[in-house]
Amino acid sequence: MSKKTWRIGVAGLGTVGGGLMKFLAVQPDFAPAGGRAVVTGVCARSRSRHRETDISALNWFDDPVALATSADTDIFVELIGGSDGPAKAAVEAALALGKPVVTANKALIAEHGAALALLAEAKGAPLLFEAAVMGGTPAVKMLREAMVGDEVVSVAGILNGTCNYILSEMEASGRSFAEVLAEAQRLGYAEADPTMDIGGFDAAHKIVILSALAFGCAPDYAGAEIEGLDQIELLDIKLAGDLGYRIKLVASAERSDAGVSVRVHPALAPLDHPLAQTSGALNALFIEGRRIGRIFIQGPGAGAGPTAAAVAADIADVMTGATRPVFQRPAVGLPRLTAVDPAHRQGRAYLRLQVRDEAGVIAAVSETLAEERVSIDSFLQKPAHDAEGVPIVLTTHAAPEAMLLNAVRRIAALPSVLQPPRMIRIARV
């Protein structure tokens, strides 16, 4: 299908929407397939708010559903956000009419992607969401298009720039989590309510989408294991560095004979590893295929320019007329993930203990680990600086995670242990 002019309806004129409007106003004929993409209708919370691009000549809609269903909208671009409410209603309305939808809404795709894919494919309407993951860095296209000739084994990386910025700044400045978070909020890197970012939920939405594309299955946000960043202390960052690691919030999806594991959690990466060297607000991702091996991509995960570029790339795909299943396989009969039982999962861990400075403590900890069949890889003891005990840190060899967790629970009950142990996984990289 080709048209000389594609009429674009944009719902949401925030950072990304503003960037897209600015780009299309300057370069409407950007698509390689030819034709022009022209914004004809918009919808946002405030009509009177000052914007860089003049919208006075465009059709204004108070309701995004009305914009999505308007006869003057050929492609509906949803940049509102949120897994439900107006965004979901408008996307469903556009797809029901067979209209192409381009969205940057990670929560919507992660939580309702299977149902939306059914509707889109039943109506023959493209549903594209490159901008939902890693902003302008083409993670979605890599899995959706470049990897179709291979079998993806795993995807893992840093998918939240806010968390990566906080960790990088804590290490560089020696300031606490709370101090750096407050600065990130002042600078606009973190929201006033940062829960989605620091709680790991934003990264979880993204890795759920990538897992669905990687393994040809329905996105299953409810099945993701999520652990945020808010419990990481400056002491952990310093001690991890002493051991040759850097702490990152890692999102991963891995397929094995036991099923698929989709997780977000803090993890230690070796200092010379590309994930450890991804600093500031950058995102990074490893994709591993059985034939191709490992691919690494890195780039900006947010921002007006990069994310608007990803939205524009999806608009260009619609203009070419290319069609493919939303999640690699037809939506009808799209399989569900089989989650891996933690008892069958193995890994290494960093353990930090705050203990009394007395004889026999290390022996008791070692004995407890040995009884759970967890062996120690490295050990570090720091001198005591106050009356609250001394920190000791150890890393383990690979062990079943169930045994690691049970060992941590038992160690916490030892009389010489003053605080709950801190366990951070070591990234499998």
Q: Do 131 and 190 sit in the same domain of this protein?
A: no
For position 2, what pLDDT does the model report? 47
Task: State the angle between helix axes of 86-96 and 106-123 in degrees (0 to 180), rounded to the nearest 10.
Answer: 20
In the listed set 320, 353, 386, which residue is the last one of a domain according to the structure?
320
242 three-class SS: helix
Which phi and psi (to 5°) does residue 118 adopt?
A: -60, -45
Q: What is the mean pLDDT of residues 73-88?
A: 96
Residues 165 and 234 in one domain: yes
Q: Which domain holds residue 62?
A: 5-136+306-320
206 is catalytic: yes
Residues 231, 361 within the same domain: no
Does 1 have pLDDT greater than 50? no
Structure tokens at 253: 């999806």
Q: Are residues 310 and 291 in the same domain?
A: no
Note the pLDDT of residue 281: 86
Q: Tell me if 33 is assigned to some domain.
A: yes
Residues 273 and 152 in one domain: yes
- Same-domain pairing of 131 and 143: no
224 lies in the same domain as 109: no
pLDDT at 322: 80
pLDDT of residue 51: 85
| 170 and 97 share one domain | no
Residue-wise pLDDT tens digits, 282-305: 999 999 999 999 999 999 888 888
Do 144 and 285 reside in the same domain of the chain?
A: yes
Pair 11, 124 in one domain: yes
Residue 206, pLDDT above cutoff 60: yes
Contact 255, 339 (CB under 8 A): no
Whole-angstrom Cα distance, residue 72 to residue 297? 38
CATH number of the domain enclosing 27: 3.40.50.720
Provide the mean pLDDT of the chain.
92
Q: Span 120-139, mean pLDDT? A: 95
Q: How far apart are CA 69 and CA 51, in angstroms?
A: 25
Position 335 in a domain: no
Q: Is there a single domain that holds both residue 99 and residue 85?
A: yes
From 320, 353, 379, the end of a domain falls on 320
The catalytic residue among 206, 238, 248, 382 is: 206
The model's pTM is: 0.93
Please tell me whether residues 20 and 82 are part of one structural domain: yes
Q: How many domains is the chain built from?
A: 3
Kindly report, residue by residue over 147-191, the tens digit of the pLDDT.
Answer: 999 999 999 999 999 999 999 999 999 999 999 999 888 877 788
- Is the pLDDT at 129 greater than 90? The verdict is yes
Residues whose CB is less than 8 angstroms from the CB of residue 45 and which lie 6 or more positions away in sequence, other chains included: none
> Residue 334: inside a domain, yes or no?
no
pLDDT tops 80 at residue 388? no
Confidence of residue 214 (pLDDT cuts 50, 70, 90): very high
State the DSSP code for 51.
Answer: -
Q: Give the number of other CB atoms < 10 A from CB of residue 56.
A: 6
Residue 221 to residue 209: CA distance in whole angstroms: 9
**Cβ–Cβ under 8 Å, residues 214 and 253:** yes
CATH number of 367's domain: 3.30.70.260
Question: Which amino acid is residue 203, in one-letter code?
Answer: A
Per-residue pLDDT tens over the stretch 331-378? 998 888 777 776 678 899 999 999 988 888 999 999 999 999 999 999
